């Protein structure tokens, strides 16, 4: 397919072209993200029986480029307990003793869920993640109904494994240490702190370097409800970790200012960079998005490189789409003030740049025959995404509205966004402001209106690229 060829109209207008979703049924949180032998593994919460939450298994997909994903057989299946969220590591030194000596085992640490208890269990793979053995005894059990989502990583300074696990109702993250992934010793408790309007879930703790090479530790945790618009959301702190305690140096900030970014975790054992992705939905309406008729519900965000940028106001988290996505670009087309027609039978990437000033407005309105389906506006101090209610989304409580993210003063501005069949991901200011929103247009979007104020018409110009599909569905 090239940029001049119109693809056949699909029977499923909302199935993503470049975002991962399985062939059928329900998915939510990504789990066990691990890189091994040149392969990126994406495990995720999966119900193989229906397009609603329940009977949690770990689904599985693999990729060699973070872009083209290939669905695999179920990795961890429900048995005496459901397989709730967790993480996976490469046990290079076979500290767990779960390897057979031929190659390092992959070890997953997940929450086993029953109606009366949640505890942490191990599973292992000796063939690079293709098949798994579930080990029957819990390695961490507090006899609690809500105690879940272990994120495990190797901490070289203390030569030990560190686990971040959440106590949802208490709004606490507990840090623990182990030398063998089996026996765990409690180190410290973080929280309650920041936003506490809902239960906490899916913690992650990891270091990143800023542009000057200084290390910052990122602690992030999700909450539901209590997000920036009343539904679910993700908050983070920047600080220090000494092998025992996380010490924040910033207040809590939102990771994503849209409505549909939840349960992000980072890949383990990925050299030289930090990458994560999330479930792209919101618990306000996840069970009601209009895709069940096609037999599926849920998709993942695009993978993002995570870093820290130090501005005049201090350090902030930045997120940028992984550069591997540029390989999907087809024939480039210019975009400037006015109307640009395009086809939404495939995904598109948009990129605009313009010089900074004290007073300007750049707005992109994505329109179908039904009218404006979504708009993105950038001004000197903020970016806003507006999702109007349509006939398709009238029953989705929390869908329609305006989502805003602050921007620091900048000499030059950049707006980069990805429009897929049922989502919009917006990156502004080099990834300082990010908004992720599901999108269910009433009709196919066929044109973008670029409106500028306070700028010469030649100052806000850019490009759009149709993107090659990453799935044949």
In three-state secondary structure terms, 389 is coil
Catalytic hit among 29, 91, 260, 437? 29
Q: Judge whether 29 counts as a catalytic residue.
A: yes
- 291 near 52, Cβ under 8 Å? no
Q: Which of 449, 400, 411, 407 is nearest to 428 (CA)?
A: 407
Pick from 321, 279, 347: which is nearest to 15 by CA?
347
Query: How far apart are the C-alpha atoms of 255 and 261, rounded to whole Å?
Result: 9
Nearest to 259 by CA among 420, 360, 397: 397
- Nearest 5 degrees, angle CA 326-CA 33-CA 235? 85
Q: How many residues does the chain have?
A: 473
Contact 166, 200 (CB under 8 A): yes
Yes or no: say if 164 and 174 are a contact pair by the CB < 8 Å rule. Answer: yes
Distance CA 165, CA 150 (A): 4
- Cα(419)–Cα(436) distance, rounded to whole angstroms? 10
* Torsions phi, psi for 287 (to 5 deg): -80, 0
205 DSSP β-pair partners: 219
- List active site positions: 29
């Amino acid at each position: 397919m090239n940029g001049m060829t119109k693809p056949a109209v699909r029977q499923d207008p909302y199935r993503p072209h470049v975002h991962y979703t399985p062939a059928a049924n329900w998915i939510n949180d990504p789990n066990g993200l691990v890189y091994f032998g040149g392969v990126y593994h994406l495990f995720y919460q999966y119900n193989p029986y229906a397009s609603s939450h329940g009977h949690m298994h770990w689904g599985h997909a693999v990729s060699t480029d973070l872009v083209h994903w290939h669905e695999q057989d179920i990795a961890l299946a429900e048995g005496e307990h459901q397989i709730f969220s967790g993480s996976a590591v490469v046990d290079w030194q076979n500290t767990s003793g779960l390897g057979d000596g031929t190659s390092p085992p992959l070890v997953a640490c997940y929450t086993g869920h029953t109606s009366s208890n949640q505890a942490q269990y191990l599973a292992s793979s000796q063939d690079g993640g293709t098949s798994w053995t579930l080990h029957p005894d819990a390695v961490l059990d507090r006899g609690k109904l809500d105690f879940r989502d272990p994120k495990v990583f190797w901490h070289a300074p203390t030569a030990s494994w560190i686990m971040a696990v959440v106590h949802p109702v208490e709004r606490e993250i507990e840090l623990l240490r182990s030398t063998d992934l089996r026996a765990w010793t409690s180190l410290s408790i973080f929280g309650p702190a920041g936003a506490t309007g809902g239960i906490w879930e899916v913690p992650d703790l990891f270091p990143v370097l800023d542009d000057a090479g200084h290390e910052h530790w990122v602690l992030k945790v999700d909450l539901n409800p209590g997000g920036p618009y009343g539904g679910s959301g993700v908050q983070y702190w920047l600080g220090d970790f000494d092998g025992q305690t996380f010490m924040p140096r910033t207040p809590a900030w939102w990771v994503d200012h849209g409505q549909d970014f939840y349960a992000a975790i980072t890949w383990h054992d990925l050299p030289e960079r930090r990458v994560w992705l999330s479930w792209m939905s919101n618990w306000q309406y996840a069970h009601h998005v209009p895709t069940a008729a096609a037999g599926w519900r849920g998709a993942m965000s695009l993978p993002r490189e995570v870093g820290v940028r130090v501005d005049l106001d201090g350090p902030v988290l930045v997120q940028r789409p992984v550069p591997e996505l540029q390989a999907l670009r087809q024939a480039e087309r210019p975009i400037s003030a006015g109307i640009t027609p395009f086809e939404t039978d495939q995904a598109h990437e948009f990129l605009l740049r313009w010089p900074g000033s004290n007073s300007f407005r750049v707005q992109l309105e994505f329109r179908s025959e039904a009218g404006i389906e979504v708009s993105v506006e950038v001004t000197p101090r903020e970016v806003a995404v507006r999702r109007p209610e349509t006939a398709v989304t009238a029953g989705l409580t929390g869908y329609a509205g305006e989502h805003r993210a602050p921007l620091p003063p900048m000499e030059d501005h950049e707006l980069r966004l990805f429009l897929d069949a049922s989502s919009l991901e917006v990156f502004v200011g080099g990834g300082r402001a990010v908004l992720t929103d599901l999108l269910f247009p009433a009709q196919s979007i066929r044109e973008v209106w670029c409106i500028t104020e306070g700028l010469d018409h030649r100052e806000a110009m850019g490009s759009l690229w149709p993107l090659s599909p990453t799935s044949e569905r």
